[in-house]
Amino acid sequence: MRPAGPRWGLARATGRAGPLSEVSPTGRLLVGTSGFSYPAWSPRFYPPGLAAGDRLRHYASRFSACELNNTFYQRPTATKVAAWLAATPDGFRFAAKAQRGGSLRALLRDPATAVPWLTDPFRAFGDRLGAVLFRVPVDVTVDLARLDALLDAWPLDLPLVIEFEDPSWQLDEVHARLRAARAVLCVTQRPEDDVAPAIRLTGSSLYLRLRRHDYDETGIRGWADRLVPFLAARHDAFVFFRHDEVGRATELADALRLAVAARLPGLAPWPPVTNIA
């Protein structure tokens, strides 16, 4: 495995995606939903009659980040990325799922060839790319040699988050490798989980996928309480709620943001406050 490089530090030096809290008293809470373009979210979230092309602009007026779903099925074109960037403000961040076929090739076959094919389109995001979510499916069990090869091939200037669906990957040896590569371990709470998963900081930020169909007030408060110490230590936290058929996920994202803000007064607001002389 190559020596650990400053994945996020290099990103800052090159103008690409690095920590967003360099001048903030706390880390940034980048909360949103998995996907945004759901017609059924009107009128609960989107105003009635809102054109499909205006959904992302409305979404970005409420939330600071979005986990893109369609990049999991096909690599984004430069035209599509440009449209996403134009619809969102500068502080908005995208978390892009790595294309599923290319991800499997990168992990199981030929990372030297597959990783550039997989990652090159993401450079069009520039510093608006908050994370690339690399999903390892449940039928792929732990293989340290393959993980080493993937991490060695991954560009240091592209922020890598890995979600391991099979529990065999939850080993100290895996976490140590992610930490050495400055890659982020995705924390996922699935609907069937009775206990909230552990949060392990392996990179400079956190990445949470909250996949239950709903959360009550106690559940939201619990996640807020767990996030605050990391944010107070100036770690950014990406948190995405599972999409649903009516827009409930947007209400959960709002509730988490408010719960964290109540506990952490220095948290940056969204949308950002603009001082007018």
Rounded to 10 degrees, the C-alpha dihedral 125/98/70/235 comes to -60
List Cβ neighbours of 251 (8 Å cut-off, separation of 6 or more): none
Total-model pTM: 0.91
Omega within 30 of 0 (cis) for the link into 271: yes
d(CA 174, CA 172): 5
- 203 to 52, 111, 135, 180, 275: CA distances (angstroms): 36, 21, 17, 9, 33
Least Cα distance to 100 among 145, 64, 70, 126 occurs for: 70
Domain ranges of the chain: 7-263
Predicted pLDDT at 139: 96
Predicted pLDDT at 160: 98
Predicted pLDDT at 62: 96
Phi-psi category of 107—alpha, beta or left, where left has phi over 0 and alpha has psi -120 to 50? alpha
Predicted pLDDT at 194: 83
9 burial via Cβ count (<10 Å: 0-12, 13-18, 19+) = middle
d(CA 63, CA 162): 23
Dihedral angle sign, alpha carbons of residues 265, 268, 271, 274: positive
Tokens of 164: 């391991």
Written as one letter, the residue type at 201 is L
Pick one of 3.20.20.410, 3.40.190.10, 3.40.50.80, 3.90.230.10 as the CATH number of 7-263. Answer: 3.20.20.410
d(CA 85, CA 93): 9
Which regions of the chain are under pLDDT 70?
Answer: 1-23, 273-277
